[in-house]
Copies of this chain bind each other. A is one copy, B any other.
Amino acid sequence: MKIDIIGQGNVGSHLAKALGDKADTVSVNSRTLAGLRADADLYLISVSDDAIANVAKKLKQKVNKNGIVAHTSGTTPLSSLKILSNPTGVFYPLQTFTKGIELDYAEIPFFIEAADKRTEDFLMDTARLISRNVRVADSVRRRELHVASVFCCNFSNHLWALAAGWLNERGLDFKTLLPLIKETTRKAGNGRPFENQTGPAVRHDQGVLNAHLQALEMDPELQDIYSLLSLSIMNHHPNK
C-alpha cells in the first residue's frame, strides 16, 4: 500500500513514522508537494485546518482519481474535501503530538469518517495498522471530541505553563509540582474527575480563595483565570 503523507508538522511527522513500518510511505512537503506520487492508494492531508482546502485543490491537478484523500483534522468537516472527485474521508488521531517526542501509537483513539462505506473500511483498516482503538465518528461528533480535547490537553497544559512561569518568577521550580500533577492524572483514570475534585473552591473555603486572589494581585491575567475557574468549581459543586 502506498501512502503519501502531506504535511511535515507535529501530526504529519508522527503519522509518517507510525505508518512507515506498515506501508510504503512518502512524507511530502505541503507547499512544494515535491515527491508526491500520482498513484498512491491513500493521501493523508496533515496541515493546519485553514490550509486543507487549498491542498485538496492542488491534489486535484496532480493525483489519480481513485486514490483516497483524507485529512487528519478534528474540527474541519469532511466537506472541505468536496472539490475532489476522489473518494474522501477523515483520519483523526485524538492525541497531542510533538515532533521528535516518542509516543505509544497503539493507545491513540482514531476517529474515521468517509463519504462511502468502502472508503470507511479502508481508513479503518489503515488506522488499525497503528492503533487498537479505532472508531467511526461523523464531523459533528469529531468536533465535539476535539473541543473536549482542547479542554483536557491544551488548557490543562497552559495552566501548568502559567504555574511554571509564576513559580519561576519566584525562584521556585515547576518540577516540585510534578508529583501533584501525576497524582491528579492518575486519579482521573477512574473516569470520574468530578468526584475527584479537591482544593479550596470545592470546599467553598472563601478565606483561602481570598488569600490566593490577593497573592495574585500583581498578575491580573492569573487572577481572572483563578476567579473564573474557582467560580465554575463552586457552581458545579454547590455547598452542602
Contacts of A162 in B (CB 8 A): 151, 232, 236
Within 8 A of B (CB), among A170-228: 170, 172-185, 187-189, 191-194, 196-203, 205, 207-208, 211-212, 215-216, 221-222, 224-226, 228
B229 touches A155 (CB 8 A): yes
Task: Assess whether A161 is interfacial by the CB under 8 Å rule.
Answer: yes
CB-contacts of A128-185 with B (<8 A) = 133, 141, 143-167, 170, 172-185
Residues of B within 8 A of A182 (CB): 185
Write the residues of chain A forming the contact surface with B, with a CB cutoff of 8 angstroms: 10, 48-50, 73, 75-76, 94-98, 101, 103, 107-109, 133, 141, 143-167, 170, 172-185, 187-189, 191-194, 196-203, 205, 207-208, 211-212, 215-216, 221-222, 224-226, 228-229, 232-233, 235-236
What would 17 A/B residue contacts be, using CB atoms closer than 8 Å?
A10-B198, A49-B208, A96-B196, A98-B187, A101-B187, A108-B179, A144-B170, A148-B163, A152-B163, A152-B177, A152-B180, A153-B199, A154-B197, A154-B199, A158-B197, A158-B236, A164-B191
